[in-house]
Amino acid sequence: MVKIRQVDVAMLDKPKATRAAPRELSPRARERLEQQKQFERMLTRIGDRDTVFEIRLEADEKPLTIRQRLMKAAEATGKEIVVRKSDKGWLVGMSTPDRKSRRGRRKASASS
């Protein structure tokens, strides 16, 4: 059987804040966070079109996951980058009009 009792309105308006202990990151999550910071530091060093970095992958890393993380880091730093395949990983450089992809739909022309 439930118990019902009347309480002060302050309990409803200002609920007690629970203090949950901050969860510790797992080793894999710490690795991902460190890698993200490393990518962001690298991207801040890209200042002109002549600065290009090669990211070499280890055996246990998935290339597309690394590419996604690079794009996420670029978004966080506010840089437009181009990521291209290389023999041992990825090449990363600043996006320029001649480096941009020509895939996808063309923009509508002004005459139509």
State pLDDT tens for residues 15-68.
667 777 788 989 999 999 999 999 999 999 998 989 999 999 988 889 999 999
Which residues are within 8 A (CB) of 29 and not within 5 positions of it... i.e. 6 or more apart?
Answer: none
| Tens-place pLDDT, residues 56-108 | 998 888 999 999 999 999 999 999 999 999 988 999 999 988 888 878 887 77
The count of structural domains within the chain is 1
User: Is 18 within a domain?
Assistant: no
Domain housing 57: 28-94
Cα–Cα nearest to 69, from 97, 44, 34: 34
**Does pTM top 0.85 for this prediction?**
no
User: Is 107 within a domain?
Assistant: no
User: Is 19 within a domain?
Assistant: no
User: Is 90 within a domain?
Assistant: yes
User: Is 64 within a domain?
Assistant: yes
